[in-house]
């Protein structure tokens, strides 16, 4: 009866607590041993077949969608279909009292304590909660009664997997780069060229992603704005009745860069601090996969065309060693963390136990949704920073790029004041 969720219930005469040893928050790492005590308090004697403890870890996906029928008659109508998937990682069953097939026993009133322990496999994925599925780890206590509903109590706990970026250090150090070229007015103008880069691929919470955006606007169209998003993408896969997938995008940080004028060349730099989050994973769980990316959306004025650049990243739990970092990168990470500027003597004033000042030795800060930094982290390099001769060479021409005396082509369906 304990397997039927509709027949599980609790009782006001029974109180059950699950207490983890030296871990009141119930947060464990993959490979750890979960140990603790189940404390059951009965107001009056209870007749049970057994008192069982189940510790399990599993992933589950489910959602409803409308699909077309398979027969000729049903093809004209969309049928509501339930998609689901499940993957189990481990499960243990321990009977403190009785068994699943034993005769009923009477448990006297009072407080009863039962110790327990379980080893979490080292290959399990991190706990996750999403719109279309979840990865959960539960401690479930059942008072199984013959011919009656079972009394069930459960306590979730969190598991964090181990993702060391140093295992694939060479791949994590590879810079990311994306470029897009767009012309306007049927190719009659010079192009708008946007290039985005990050210095490496792998990062960990507490580190800073240095996003560089180079806008070479040779066209006669202004750029309204540039939106930069650091987001997590969870992919949920079903197994029944067919294999389908659903995507969920979670924006962790968002920045906006102001207008870039026509015939202008500018470089922007955004430092994005990574808060507490789950690591990238496409191997440990087959039905819920997690990846990260930085997207750059460029929106030109008077044009429906939007330019999208994507920089895929890998987020781990153990970062790359600070010894491979240039000093400039450490300075930018300190700036994003809100620490004082780097002194001429170096970073010895904030050196941790290793003797090297690094944000890895600082606890990752709590992540704030939709937050903006107190001071701007973007830096813009424009022709005003150049010498007079260089500025004169890059100044926009007084005449339109079309031949003097002719009128430039302007589509009528565009808003001139947009």
Between 115-124, 145-154, 219-228, the lowest mean confidence (pLDDT) is in: 145-154
**% pLDDT > 70, the chain:** 73
Cβ proximity of 292 and 232 under 8 Å:
yes
pLDDT at 380 over 60: no
Q: Is the pLDDT of residue 399 over 80?
A: no
pLDDT at residue 340, rounded to an integer: 53
% of the chain at pLDDT higher than 90? 61
E-strand stretches of 274-306: 288-300
Identify the band that residue 388 occupies on the pLDDT scale cut at 50, 70 and 90.
Answer: very low
Please give the radius of gyration of the chain, using alpha carbons only, rounded to the nearest integer: 29
Residue 323 has pLDDT above 80, yes or no: no
Choice between 72 and 324, residue whose per-residue pLDDT is larger: 324
How does DSSP classify residue 394?
Answer: H
Cβ contacts of 145 within 8 Å, gap of 6 or more: 1, 46, 47, 48, 49, 104, 151
Domains in the chain with CATH codes: 14-160 (2.60.40.640), 165-337 (2.60.40.640)
Q: How confident is the model at residue 34 (pLDDT cuts 50, 70, 90)?
A: very high
| Tokens describing residue 221 | 């169209």
**pLDDT value at 396 more than 60:** no
Q: How far is CA 368 from the centre of its chain?
A: 13
Q: In what order do the strands lie in the sheet with 288-300?
A: 202-203, 307-315, 288-300, 223-237, 245-257
Confidence of residue 244 (pLDDT cuts 50, 70, 90): very high
pLDDT at residue 335 is higher than 70: no
Spatial contact of 144 and 2, defined as CB atoms under 8 Å apart:
yes
User: What b/e readout covers 169-183, taking b as 16+ CB neighbours within 10 angstroms?
Assistant: eeebeeebebeeebe
Phi–psi pair at 201, nearest 5 degrees = -100, -35
Q: What mean pLDDT comes out for the span 343-365?
A: 39
- Round to whole Å and give the CA distance between 287 and 84: 10
Copy the structure tokens of residue 144: 């199984």
Eight-class DSSP state of 260: B
The Cα–Cα gap between 102 and 391 comes to 90
CB-based contact 112:98 (threshold 8 Å): no
Residue 354 has pLDDT above 50, yes or no: no
pLDDT at position 66 is 87
Residue 29 pLDDT more than 60?
A: yes
83-96 tens-digit pLDDT = 999 999 999 999 99
At residue 184 the predicted structure's pLDDT band, cuts being 50, 70 and 90, is confident
The more confidently predicted of residues 67 and 249 is 249
- The whole-angstrom separation of Cα 68 and Cα 226 is 40
- Residue 223: how many CB atoms within 10 A of its CB? 24
Q: Which residue has the tokens 């004028």?
A: 261
- Which stretches within 161-212 are classed as H helix? 169-172
Mean pLDDT lowest among 47-51, 211-215, 352-356 = 352-356
pLDDT digits (tens, 9 = 90+) for 167-182: 999 999 999 999 999 9
Interval 254-274 mean pLDDT: 93
Residues in the chain: 418
Q: HSE on the CB side for 344, CA within 13 Å? A: 0
Mean pLDDT for the chain? 80
Is the per-residue pLDDT at 330 higher than 90?
no
pLDDT band for position 318 (cuts 50, 70, 90): very high
- The secondary structure of 114-149, three-state, reads EEEEEECCCCCCCCEECCCEEEEEEEEEEEECCCCC
Place of tokens 């207490």: 19
Q: How does residue 145 score in pLDDT terms, banded at 50, 70 and 90?
A: confident
Tokens of 387: 């010498």
**Measured between alpha carbons, how far is residue 293 from residues 163, 229, 233, 249 in Å?**
17, 8, 8, 10
pLDDT digits (tens, 9 = 90+) for 273-282: 999 999 999 9
Taken in order 304, 307, 312, 313, the sign of the CA dihedral is: negative
What is the maximum span of the chain, computed from C-alpha positions, in angstroms?
A: 102
Q: Encoding tokens for residue 347?
A: 């970073």
Residue 101's pLDDT is 84
Do the strands 27-29 and 150-160 form a parallel or antiparallel pair, or are they unpaired?
parallel
Residue 325 pLDDT: 64
Identify the residue with better confidence: 364 or 340.
340
Q: Which residues are CB-contacts of 337 (< 8 A; sequence separation ≥ 6)?
A: 206, 208, 273, 359, 362, 365
Helix and strand tally (H, E) in the chain?
Answer: 3, 22
Average pLDDT over residues 385-406: 40
């Amino acid at each position: 009866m304990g397997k039927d969720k509709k027949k599980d219930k609790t009782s006001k005469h029974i109180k059950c607590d699950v207490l983890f040893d030296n871990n009141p928050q119930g947060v464990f790492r993959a490979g750890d041993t979960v140990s603790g005590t189940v404390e059951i308090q009965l107001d009056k004697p209870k007749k049970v077949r057994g008192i069982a403890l189940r510790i399990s870890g599993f992933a589950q996906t489910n959602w409803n969608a409308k699909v077309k029928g398979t027969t000729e008659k049903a093809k004209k109508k969309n049928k509501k279909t339930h998609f689901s998937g499940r993957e189990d990682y481990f499960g243990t069953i321990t009977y403190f009292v009785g068994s699943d097939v034993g005769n009923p026993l009477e448990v006297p009133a009072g407080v009863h304590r039962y110790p327990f322990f379980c080893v979490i496999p080292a290959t399990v994925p991190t706990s996750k909660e999403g719109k279309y599925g979840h990865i959960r780890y539960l401690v479930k206590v059942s008072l199984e009664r013959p011919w009656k509903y079972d009394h069930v109590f459960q306590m979730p706990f969190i598991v964090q997997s181990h993702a060391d970026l140093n295992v694939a250090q060479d791949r994590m150090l590879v810079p990311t780069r994306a470029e897009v070229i767009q012309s306007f007015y049927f190719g009659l103008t010079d192009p708008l060229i946007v290039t985005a880069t990050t210095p490496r691929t792998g990062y960990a919470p507490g580190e800073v992603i240095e996003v560089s955006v180079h806008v070479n606007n040779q066209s006669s169209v202004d750029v309204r704005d540039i939106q930069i998003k650091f987001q997590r993408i969870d992919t949920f896969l079903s197994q029944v009745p067919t294999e389908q997938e659903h995507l969920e995008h979670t924006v962790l940080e968002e920045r906006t860069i102001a207008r870039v004028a026509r015939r202008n060349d500018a470089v922007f730099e955004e430092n994005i601090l990574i808060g507490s989050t789950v690591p990238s994973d496409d191997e440990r769980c087959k039905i819920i996969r997690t990846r990260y990316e930085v997207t750059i959306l460029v929106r030109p004025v008077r044009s429906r065309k939007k330019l999208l650049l994507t920089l895929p990243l890998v987020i781990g739990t153990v970062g790359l060693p600070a010894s491979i970092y240039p000093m400039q990168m450490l300075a930018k990470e300190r700036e994003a963390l809100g620490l004082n500027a780097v002194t001429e003597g170096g970073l010895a004033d904030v050196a941790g136990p290793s003797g090297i000042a690094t944000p890895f030795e600082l606890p990752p800060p709590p992540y704030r949704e939709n937050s903006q930094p107190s001071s701007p982290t973007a830096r813009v390099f424009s022709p005003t920073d150049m010498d007079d001769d260089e500025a004169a060479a890059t100044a926009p021409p007084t005449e339109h790029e079309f031949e003097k005396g002719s009128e430039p082509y302007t589509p009528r369906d565009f808003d001139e004041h947009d």
